[in-house]
Amino acid sequence: MNLASGSGYRITENARLDARNTFGVRAKAPMLVDVSDAQALPELFGYAMPRAASTLVLGGGSNLLFAGDAPGVVLALETRRIALAEDRGETVIVRADAGVVWHDFVLWTLGHGLSGLENLALIPGTVGAAPIQNIGAYGMEVGERVHAVDAFDRLDGRFVRLAAEACAFAYRDSLFKHAPDRYIVTAVEFVLDRAFQPRLAYAGITDALQAMGIEGTPRASQVAEAVIRIRRRKLPDPALLGNAGSFFKNPIIACAQADALLADFPAMPVFRGAGDDSRKLSAAWLIDQCGWKGHRDGDAGVAASHALVLVNHGQATGMQLLDLAHRIAASVHARFGVAIEPEPRIVGAAW
Ligand code: EPU
């Protein structure tokens, strides 16, 4: 077998990953495998890449930080089919390959008169990456719309289908995050609606709709447009300024700790946590209070428009960004006694 390419995949040795991560930091991989047909995965893992070799699955490279080079194989799926899998009348099941660009998929669903993903417009990355961290924005999480996830199980060397209930979706979390070397998501099925049920409660959406001159009940495509406008205003475009969206997760803490903090900081935003006994804080607010917004150390910085977004002004290395992130987390901990943790996967170093 030709190692450099086979049916359904292409291998590049000593590959540069600079253009494959939205931070735009320098990084390399000893082996990069671009997969154009998921059916090639059993062959790849059976022969070309021994199962023991560590494999990093790359989507749009928008939720990771290369603090060093990738230690082993990097694999990227280039599969791009979208199809109607099942028509159930009021709802439909749509199936999209892992390599489909997420925002293109959201636009496809809206173009076909299907709603349910409009609040998740313009999130960077791919369909295959969406269930991993259970992408969420503007009052919606993708897990609510996942019907099933198809994956290649490296442990058993076979394809599996996981129903949504088996995926353990939670805030920026899923089964896949806890077994990073096991599943390679190959396709995702979503359950979408024909009749639109708008979800407009998240701060800013109704204002954006009003600014667009929309009165009464909006269409799903108009909600998507409102979300796109808010995102463009708040979040830097990775094509222009390297970043990976929110760098920290919003911390979830016990109610009692939130109450104690509120006594000292009455203006602190507090949201519901996973259950009644927990609360979610705004990492952006905590970081902002520590004075980091717009901060810059050389080319590593914090966005001027949003305190949660670390940015690469040009030549920052992954280690410089990681060092800045550590200093931000330490200052938040010193002031509020709250630990904040990174949202993107950090490759080549531990947090
Ligand atoms: N805030 C500040 N300073 C800032 C920005 C925000 O104090 O610079 C405060 C404000 O009080 C604001 C609150 O933080 O009301 C929340 O801000 P925002 O609505 O921007 O949401 P977020 O909690 O910072 C989360 C997600 C984003 C998602 C938005 C909208 C996480 C880690 N981040 O951000 O997701 O787009 O909500 O739903 O949950 C991502 O994951 O990469 C991402 C961008």
Q: Whose CA is nearest to atom 33 of ligand 1?
A: 246
How would residue 47 be classed by pLDDT, with cut points 50, 70 and 90? low
Q: Which residues pair with 148 in a beta bridge?
A: 163, 189
Secondary structure of residue 66 in the 3-state scheme: strand
Index of the ligand 1 atom closest to the CA of residue 293: 8
Q: Whose CA is nearest to atom 10 of ligand 1?
A: 285
- Cα 290 to Cα 338: distance, rounded to the nearest angstrom: 13
Share of the chain above pLDDT 70, in %: 97
Are both 44 and 178 inside the same structural domain? no
Distance 79 CA to ligand 1 centre (A): 31
Summarize the confidence of residues 45-59 as an average pLDDT. Answer: 76
State which of 234, 250, 274 marks the end of a domain: 234
> Probe ligand 1: pick from 172, 279, 282, max atoms within 8 Å of CB?
282
Residue 258 clears pLDDT 70, i.e. is over it: yes
- Ligand 1 neighbour 245 (Cβ under 6 A): yes
- Ligand 1 neighbour 250 (Cβ under 6 A): yes
Q: Count other Cβ atoms within 10 Å, centred on residue 225.
A: 19
CATH number where 315 lies: 3.90.78.10
Summarize the confidence of residues 245-256 as an average pLDDT. Answer: 97
- Cα 49 to Cα 26: distance, rounded to the nearest angstrom: 24
Per-residue pLDDT of 18-32, as tens digits, reads 999 999 999 999 999
Are both 88 and 218 inside the same structural domain? yes
Dihedrals phi, psi of 176, to nearest 5 degrees: -65, -30
- Ligand 1 neighbour 291 (Cβ under 6 A): no
Residue 130 clears pLDDT 60, i.e. is over it: yes
Secondary structure of residue 116 in the 3-state scheme: coil
Index of the ligand 1 atom closest to the CA of residue 133: 41
Element (H, E) at 56: strand 55-58
- How open is the CA angle 54-60-64, to the nearest 5 degrees? 55
Per-residue pLDDT of 260-293, as tens digits, reads 999 999 999 999 888 889 999 999 999 999 999 9
Residue 124 clears pLDDT 70, i.e. is over it: yes
> Probe ligand 1: pick from 23, 235, 285, 308, max atoms within 8 Å of CB?
308
Residue 210 clears pLDDT 60, i.e. is over it: yes
What region, left, alpha or beta, does residue 327 occupy, with left being phi > 0 and alpha being psi -120 to 50 degrees?
Answer: alpha
How would residue 50 be classed by pLDDT, with cut points 50, 70 and 90? low
CATH number where 227 lies: 3.30.465.10
Are both 198 and 253 inside the same structural domain? no
Q: What tokens were used for 339?
A: 């630990």
State which of 234, 257, 290 marks the end of a domain: 234
Per-residue pLDDT of 139-176, as tens digits, reads 999 999 999 999 999 988 899 999 999 999 999 999 99
Q: How far is CA 289 from CA 6, 23, 25, 95, in A?
A: 53, 25, 28, 43
State which of 77, 99, 127 marks the end of a domain: 77
Are both 20 and 68 inside the same structural domain? yes
Q: Are 55 and 49 in contact (CB under 8 A)?
A: yes
DSSP code, position 93 = E
Are both 249 and 328 inside the same structural domain? yes
What region, left, alpha or beta, does residue 85 occupy, with left being phi > 0 and alpha being psi -120 to 50 degrees?
Answer: alpha
**Burial category of 299 from C-beta neighbours within 10 Å (exposed 0-12, middle 13-18, buried 19 and up):** middle
Q: Whose CA is nearest to atom 7 of ligand 1?
A: 285
Q: Count other Cβ atoms within 10 Å, centred on residue 83.
A: 11
Chain mean position to CA 284: 17
Q: Whose CA is nearest to atom 25 of ligand 1?
A: 137
Give the residue among 62, 60, 57, 63 at the shortest CA–CA distance from 75: 57
Look at 64 and 181; give whichever has higher pLDDT. 64
Q: What tokens were used for 119?
A: 């609040």
- Ligand 1 neighbour 308 (Cβ under 6 A): yes
Index of the ligand 1 atom closest to the CA of residue 248: 32
Residue 1 clears pLDDT 50, i.e. is over it: no
- Cα 123 to Cα 106: distance, rounded to the nearest angstrom: 10
pTM over the 0.85 mark: yes
Q: Are 173 and 134 in contact (CB under 8 A)?
A: yes
- Cα 17 to Cα 242: distance, rounded to the nearest angstrom: 14
CATH number where 15 lies: 3.30.43.10
Are both 217 and 329 inside the same structural domain? no
Are both 210 and 330 inside the same structural domain? no
Index of the ligand 1 atom closest to the CA of residue 244: 42
- Ligand 1 neighbour 297 (Cβ under 6 A): no
- Ligand 1 neighbour 138 (Cβ under 6 A): yes
Are both 73 and 104 inside the same structural domain? no
How would residue 177 be classed by pLDDT, with cut points 50, 70 and 90? very high
Are both 103 and 203 inside the same structural domain? yes
User: Lowest-pLDDT range, 176-180, 236-240, 296-300?
Assistant: 176-180
- How open is the CA angle 328-172-149, to the nearest 5 degrees? 150
Per-residue pLDDT of 73-112, as tens digits, reads 999 999 999 999 999 999 999 999 999 999 999 999 999 9
Q: Are 226 and 121 in contact (CB under 8 A)?
A: no
Domain count, the chain: 3
Kindly list the catalytic residues. Answer: 172, 246, 343
Are both 115 and 225 inside the same structural domain? yes
Q: What tokens were used for 195?
A: 């009749």
Q: What local confidence, expressed as pLDDT, does residue 294 receive?
A: 98
Are both 61 and 97 inside the same structural domain? no
Residue 332 makes CB contacts below 8 A (sequence gap 6+) with 283, 286, 287, 290, 338, 340
Summarize the confidence of residues 226-231 as an average pLDDT. Answer: 98
Are both 192 and 250 inside the same structural domain? no
Residue 299's domain spans which residues? 242-347
Give the residue ranges of DSSP H helices in 73-152: 102-111
Residue 2 clears pLDDT 60, i.e. is over it: no
How would residue 134 be classed by pLDDT, with cut points 50, 70 and 90? very high
Mean pLDDT score of the chain, rounded to an integer?
A: 95
